[in-house]
Amino acid sequence: MKRSEYPRPDLVRDIWWPLNGTWNFAFDNQNVGLNENWFLKLNFPLRIEVPFAFQTKLSGIDDQSFHDHMWYHREISIKPFNPNKRYLLHFQAVDYECRVYLDGLLVGMHTGGQAPFSFEITPFIKDESAHQLVVYVFDPSTDLFLPRGKQYWKPMSESIWYTRTSGIYQSVWIEEVASHYVQLIKMTPLFDDGVMQFDINVSGIGRDLKIEIFDKGHLVAEQAAHVTALSQRMNIEILHSKEDFEAKTWHPDHPYLFDVVISYGADQLKTYLGMRKVSTKEGQ
C-alpha cells in the first residue's frame, strides 16, 4: 500500500480502516456495465493501485488514452465489528460521477471530481464477514462543460494542458463512529477578542458536547453544553493576555497551533487550530 497515512488529519478518530492498495479494475469502453450488472461481477481483468488514477504510473496501468467508463472492485471486512457503532465509507475524491455498491446493492451516488464525500454503510454491514465493494465511475474525457482545470480534452497533453485524472484519485477508507457523532466542524477566529468560534453539526441531539483546548499538552480552555439542536455554536477564549497575542498567534514565521479534543457522547475526535487575522486597511 503506497498511501497508508491517515487521510483526514484535521479531524482524527482512532478507529478506521484504509482501503487503499490493490483493487480489481476494468475499462467499460462499450458502456455496457450498468445494463449487464457489472456491480455483481467480481472478476475484473486488471489490477489498479488505489488511490492513483489509471493514467499514472503509480496506478500500475499507466494508460493515457480515453476510457470514460470504469469499474473497481475489492473485498472488505470490518474487524472487530461493533454492532453498537456506525460505519462510514469515505472517498476523498473521485472524478467525475460514481456509483457505489456493496454486495450488489446501491449504497449511493456522487457527482463532482474535487470534493470528498461519504456514505453510511451500517445497514449493509452485519458482522465481520467479507463484503464486496464495487465502484462504477463515469468521467467524460471530451466534455468541455465539466470543471476540469487544465485537464486536456485531447488525447495527448501539450502546452499548458496536462493529462486527465479519471476515477478514484484520493484515499478511500472506512471510519467507525458512535451512534451520535460530530459530522462537521467550522472554526472561525474572532481574533481581536482572542476567541475561537466553533460551529459544530451533529448526527443527533441529546448528548453532552465538550471542547478542550491544549497548549503544548496543557489544558488552557474548555467548554461544555447539552446539545438540543443539530447545530451548536460555542465561543471559547484562547488568547487571554498581551503576551498571548504576541507569542501564540499563527504566522508563517511562527505557525503556532493549539490541539483540540472534541467529545460528543461516546464520540471523540482530535483536531487543531491557529489564531490569526487576515484583513485589509488603507488599500493594503
CATH number at residue 125: 2.60.120.260
Query: Is there a single domain that holds both residue 149 and residue 198?
Result: no
Amino acid making up residue 177: V
Residue ending a domain, among 162, 177, 192, is 177
The grid cell for 271 is 483536531
pLDDT at 284 over 80: no
CA-derived radius of gyration, the chain = 22
pLDDT, position 14: 95
Query: Is there a single domain that holds both residue 106 and residue 211?
Result: no
pLDDT, position 158: 74
Report how far residue 284's alpha carbon sits from residue 271's, in angstroms, rounded to the nearest whole number.
32
Strands (E), 39-152: 46-50, 69-76, 86-91, 94-95, 97-102, 105-111, 117-120, 131-138
Residue ending a domain, among 177, 194, 212, is 177
Query: Is there a single domain that holds both residue 158 and residue 145?
Result: yes
The grid cell for 170 is 484520493
Identify the helix (H) or strand (E) that includes residue 247. helix 242-247
Query: Is there a single domain that holds both residue 32 and residue 65?
Result: yes
Report yes or no on 167 lying in a domain: yes
Average pLDDT of 179-198?
96
pLDDT tens-digit map of 203-216:
999 999 999 999 99
Report yes or no on 2 lying in a domain: no
Average pLDDT of 50-64?
94
Report yes or no on 279 lying in a domain: no
Report yes or no on 281 lying in a domain: no
Query: Is there a single domain that holds both residue 123 and residue 213?
Result: no
pLDDT tens-digit map of 100-151:
999 999 999 999 988 999 999 999 998 999 999 999 999 988 777 777 777 7
Query: Is there a single domain that holds both residue 154 and residue 211?
Result: no
Report yes or no on 125 lying in a domain: yes
Query: Is there a single domain that holds both residue 31 and residue 91?
Result: yes
pLDDT at 74 over 90: yes
Query: Is there a single domain that holds both residue 62 and residue 103?
Result: yes
The grid cell for 146 is 465539466
Average pLDDT of 93-101?
96
Query: Is there a single domain that holds both residue 64 and residue 162?
Result: yes
Query: Is there a single domain that holds both residue 126 and residue 263?
Result: no
Query: Is there a single domain that holds both residue 117 and residue 255?
Result: no
Range(s) of the domain holding residue 233: 182-273
Task: Quote the mean pLDDT of the chain.
Answer: 93
Upper half-sphere CA count for residue 210 (Cβ side, 13 Å): 11
Report yes or no on 86 lying in a domain: yes
Report yes or no on 265 lying in a domain: yes
Residue ending a domain, among 152, 177, 202, is 177
Report how far residue 187's alpha carbon sits from residue 236's, in angstroms, rounded to the nearest whole number.
11
Report how far residue 42's alpha carbon sits from residue 24's, in angstroms, rounded to the nearest whole number.
8
Identify the helix (H) or strand (E) that includes residue 176. strand 172-177
CA 94 to chain centre: 11
CATH number at residue 231: 2.60.40.10
Report yes or no on 136 lying in a domain: yes
- Domain count across the chain: 2
The grid cell for 133 is 465493494
Query: Is there a single domain that holds both residue 100 and residue 190?
Result: no
Upper half-sphere CA count for residue 275 (Cβ side, 13 Å): 24
CA 79 to chain centre: 21
Neighbours of 202 (CB within 10 A): 21
